[in-house]
Structure 1
């Protein structure tokens, strides 16, 4: 009887030690995955700091040659956007391409040999999958400190229907809905990964469910961004709303044609603030208002009134023009139809 008891307790002890070793190995693997992802994360610092606008965001490297993916944000509306790498290096970046529909922006910094994600190796996951969210929410890092890591679960995968203020979110396709409080100030452009570090999605902006008025924590599947981001990196991307090459280029569309009266253009880089909106115009019907600041025309970043005018020259009657404006602490996208000739 004593011998059997000793054998029983010996078996229990062996099982306990085995489980402890297993947990230790899993923890080590998780730490390794987190450290690997952290090397691919960047902190972004640019416009903001006034009227409650945060001047920081998150991004991640998508090429060894310094291409960074993030979300469209007011933070990018700056003459200088600083990108801080995991080792603390601070390098100026410039926007090289955007896609309003995907809420995607790609920046370029002058650096080589950087650890990066391959968007074409991103994975799709199912509800119930345990995930990690990496972001510089609340500006927890400004130098070589690691960004925040949160553990969560994919609660669902569904078409995103959300708003910021009165306006619908620019991204309207399938998204991962998360059981974790991930979408905070500065978190947009962070990444969602599996526990072993495989890229799953990109954390979005702060949005609310229009029915319940509750905040939504979500990520855009990285697989939906791969082709567009790759085209931007290669310099081959053309916005979806550009007309065919055999059509006449431009028709002299101006802000006034859309019903927008901008502030006087008195210096070389006068910001494109709306001074007034013509009653009954496309701009008025879209909900644009005085003091809105135009930051994107279609997928082009516009830093001045002259840049807005140049971008509008590429449109013609009947085209849809998407304007993204900064309003208070919101980034709002609206679509206007260029009116026919003779009605402008």
Structure 2
């Protein structure tokens, strides 16, 4: 359990030309690989921006999965170029996503296979915290060290985060608005982690400053970029007809009332003797993915189910309390 306070924060890069010239060349190079991401938010305590970093020369960007990505986001690169980004896929278990912009020949981070940092190693956190970099200004840089490596036990509001593996605990302020999804690099400018979202320790309520180690998300990013994720295709005998209701008869699910365009796909009731009942789905389960495809709301769930043949199994990724589970509904 993480219970560490932040000890030191040193800002070593800001958006002025003087600050850029004072950075070591590899630090400035790392800044060019960090992107500014703008999406949903704008309400009280919900900032509409965060950070990400390039992981391929063809415009693939890794970032934290959050409410900011409830809409297709806008991405600004270090040189000020602006792109409409597509959300390729996300992994709810480690809460990261991969975006794609139409560009090529971009500078990018190689994601390491193994963990290359340890306790006490110096690091730089590069992100667009507080939305300081709004155009072609470089992302902000903070200097610190890895204070510890420990399992994550954290919450956001009343919800506990699903990831329980090791994180890099940092002695710099990495939990400010906009920092989530930023890059953590070592003293040579190599990627070692992704800055985490704003979370509190589950036991003490202390704000956490941490990064997800790069080796944890390397395979996920590689699978997404390579297309090794499930896709769906239109069939002649869809799981759902066009006039489906909240009670998805063919599966045995009753969802909560669909009162808004963004109503989440929460299960309200499971009908006994149906595929949903046999798969042990429960009321209050939140459906996140169907056959590997993101479920944004109840309407997108219905749209996805219409692309699946009623004779095929349906794999669903759900969130149940703090767990991320996969269930298979067999017709």
Consecutive unaligned residues in structure 2, runs of 5 or more: 1-19, 241-246, 272-276
Give 2:162's aligned residue. 170
What is the CA–CA distance in structure 1 between the aligned matches of 2:127 and 2:204, rounded to whole Å? 26
8 Å contact from structure 1 (residues 254, 312) kept in 2: no
Report whether the alignment pairs 1:322 with 2:318: yes
Give the one of 9, 18, 30 matched to 1:37: 30
8 Å contact from structure 1 (residues 177, 218) kept in 2: yes
8 Å contact from structure 1 (residues 200, 221) kept in 2: yes
User: Deviation of residue 251 (structure 1)?
Assistant: 6.9
Give the one of 307, 311, 314 matched to 2:300: 307
What is the CA–CA distance in structure 1 between the aligned matches of 2:115 and 2:22, rounded to whole Å? 19
8 Å contact from structure 2 (residues 229, 292) kept in 1: no
Give the one of 127, 130, 142 matched to 1:135: 127
> Any idea what the Cα deviations from partners look like across 1:287-321, whole Å, max 9, x if unmatched?
x7xxxxx776685333443312244677969x663
Give the one of 262, 272, 276 matched to 1:271: 262
What is the CA–CA distance in structure 2 between the aligned matches of 1:159 and 1:147, rounded to whole Å? 28
What is the CA–CA distance in structure 2 between the aligned matches of 1:303 and 1:285, rounded to whole Å? 16
Query: Which TM-score applies when normalising by structure 2?
Result: 0.75
What is the CA–CA distance in structure 1 between the aligned matches of 2:266 and 2:227, rounded to whole Å? 35
3-state SS in 2 of match to 1:115:
coil
Q: 1:196 to 1:285 in 2, by over 3 A?
A: same
Give 1:190's aligned residue. 182
8 Å contact from structure 2 (residues 150, 168) kept in 1: yes
3-state SS in 2 of match to 1:37:
helix
Give 1:19's aligned residue. none
Q: Which structure is larger by alpha-carbon Rg, 1 or 2?
A: 1
Q: 1:250 to 1:72 in 2, by over 3 A?
A: farther
What is the CA–CA distance in structure 1 between the aligned matches of 2:115 and 2:66, rounded to whole Å? 25
3-state SS in 2 of match to 1:86:
coil
8 Å contact from structure 1 (residues 257, 339) kept in 2: no
What is the CA–CA distance in structure 2 between the aligned matches of 1:170 and 1:202, rounded to whole Å? 16
> Any idea what the Cα deviations from partners look like across 1:112-136, whole Å, max 9, x if unmatched?
1000011136752110111110111
Greater alpha carbon shift after TM alignment, 100-109 vs 115-124: 115-124
Report whether the alignment pairs 1:229 with 2:221: yes
Consecutive unaligned residues in structure 1, runs of 5 or more: 1-26, 243-248, 289-293, 325-331
Query: Which TM-score applies when normalising by structure 1?
Result: 0.72
What is the CA–CA distance in structure 2 between the aligned matches of 1:259 and 1:337, rounded to whole Å? 19
State the Cα RMSD in Å.
Answer: 3.6
Aligned residue runs from structure 1 range 70-219, under 5 A? 70-78=63-71, 80-120=72-112, 123-219=115-211
Q: Number of aligned pairs? A: 289
8 Å contact from structure 2 (residues 267, 282) kept in 1: no
User: Deviation of residue 195 (structure 1)?
Assistant: 2.0
User: Deviation of residue 167 (structure 1)?
Assistant: 2.1
What is the CA–CA distance in structure 2 between the aligned matches of 1:122 and 1:335, rounded to whole Å? 25
